Amino acid sequence: MKPLNKYIDHTALKAVTTKQEIIKLCKEAKTYNFFSVCVNSVFVPLAYELLKDCDINICSVVGFPLGAMDTESKAFEALQAIKNGADEIDMVINVGLLKSKAYDAIVKDISKVKQAIGDKILKVILETCYLTEDEIIKACELCIEAKADFVKTSTGFGTGGATIAAVKTIKKTIKHHAKVKASGGIRDYETAIQFINLGVERLGVSAGIAIINGEQSDTDY
């Protein structure tokens, strides 16, 4: 197992997040040597300036939090984020198209973003709280087909976050073809370790400091 801090994408994605909060986020990431910070694309240039002298990655969300924008818009946002200094992209799957069984459109949506960012890491957010087990399985299969690097559980803005059941389903489906990021509702050390023991490679949390310190947090994204 890696050091716990290296599983953490230190996250600030709320609509009301300010520049000062991003500055604080990046300082905290340096202090605790987290794997990355995860921010909305508008804050990627600021995060880049603050972190360019260290090895902490910058993750930008794309099509966030609904995933319901057109594919070209997602691809453009992803490319701009990379140009502005992002190392990784977390895009939201189009849940409505998935439930419509428009599977070719889903593969195109993910593939276009992956093509736009080249060899950079792409994580696809399923928003599992809205999906049946069969839909989670199908979404994972589509992510693999589209060459996603990670499957991620949640935005943190849906009706629920990461669950043990959803992560087990994702892991069983993707096997060695991709990695898993658990996010949404992970607020304490014990929960974080539960997910890591299931084979999760990354945790998207705003409670990273509390988790590292073995405390409970009431914050989420």
pLDDT single digits (tens) 155-184: 999 999 999 999 999 999 999 999 999 999
The average confidence (pLDDT) of the chain is 97
Mean per-residue pLDDT, 24-39: 98
181 catalytically annotated: yes
Higher pLDDT, 126 or 1: 126
CATH code, 4-212: 3.20.20.70
Looking at the chain, the whole-number percentage of residues with pLDDT higher than 90 is: 96
Kindly indicate the confidence band of residue 219, based on its pLDDT and cuts at 50, 70 and 90: low
User: Is the alpha carbon torsion for 214, 91, 125, 155 positive or negative?
Assistant: positive
**Amino acid sitting at position 34:** F
152 catalytically annotated: yes
Q: Is residue 203 left, alpha or beta, with left meaning phi > 0 and alpha meaning psi from -120 to 50?
A: beta
CA distances from 121 to 57, 95, 173 (A): 11, 21, 20
Q: Which of 112, 114, 123, 152 is catalytic?
A: 152
Element (DSSP H or E) covering residue 160:
none
- How do residues 87-106 score in pLDDT, each as one tens digit? 999 999 999 999 999 999 99
Q: Which of 90, 109, 149, 220 is catalytic?
A: 90
Kindly indicate the confidence band of residue 215, based on its pLDDT and cuts at 50, 70 and 90: confident
Cβ(92)–Cβ(67) below 8 Å? yes
User: Is the alpha carbon torsion for 188, 196, 144, 147 positive or negative?
Assistant: positive
**pLDDT score recorded for residue 221:** 57
Give the start-to-end residue ranges of the domains of the chain. Answer: 4-212
CB burial of residue 45 (10 Å; 0-12, 13-18, 19+): middle
SS3 at position 98: helix
90 catalytically annotated: yes
